[in-house]
Amino acid sequence: MMPQIVFLPHEVHCPEGRVVEAETGESILEAALRNDIEIEHACEMSCACTTCHVIVRDGFDSLEPSDELEDDMLDKAWGLEPESRLSCQARVGTEDLVVEIPRYTINQVSEQH
C-alpha cells in the first residue's frame, strides 16, 4: 500500500485540506504538485531557496535526515520549526505523513512590505 500524505487545510493551496497517495522515494513537493497542490518552489527544486518549506506534523522520523545544504536553507525559512523540511528535498518513506504548509513563505513576507 502506498503511503499517504495528509495536507492540512491552507487557505490558498488546499482550503479543505487534502489526502494524497505518495510513492516511496518521491519528494513531498512532487506528490503535492502531482495532485494540484501548488506549493511554491521558486528554485525549481534545487534546494536553493525556502519557498517550499513545510512542517511535517506526523511521520517526521520516517523521512531521511536533511543534509547540510537543506539545513543551511532551512535556517533562512520564515516560521522555522523543529519538524520543518524543504518539501523538494524531503523524500517520502514508507509511513503516512501529516504536512502543514506554512501560512507565509519568505517571498510572501517580503512582498507585503
Give the integer Cα–Cα distance in Å for 112 and 57: 27
Domains of the chain: 4-111 (3.10.20.30)
Which pLDDT band, with edges at 50, 70 and 90, does 50 fall under? very high
pLDDT digits (tens, 9 = 90+) for 93-108: 999 999 999 987 656 6
- With the C-alpha atoms ordered 53, 58, 63, 68, is the resulting torsion angle positive or negative? positive
Rg (CA), the chain: 13
Query: 20 or 1: which carries more pLDDT confidence?
Result: 20
Q: CA nearest 10: which of 76, 55, 77?
A: 55
Q: For the chain, what is the mean pLDDT?
A: 92
Q: Is the pTM of this model over 0.85?
A: yes
- 52 CB-contact burial (10 Å; exposed 0-12 / middle 13-18 / buried 19+): buried
Give the integer Cα–Cα distance in Å for 95 and 2: 9
Q: What is the pLDDT of residue 74?
A: 96
**Type and span of the H or E element at 4:** strand 4-7
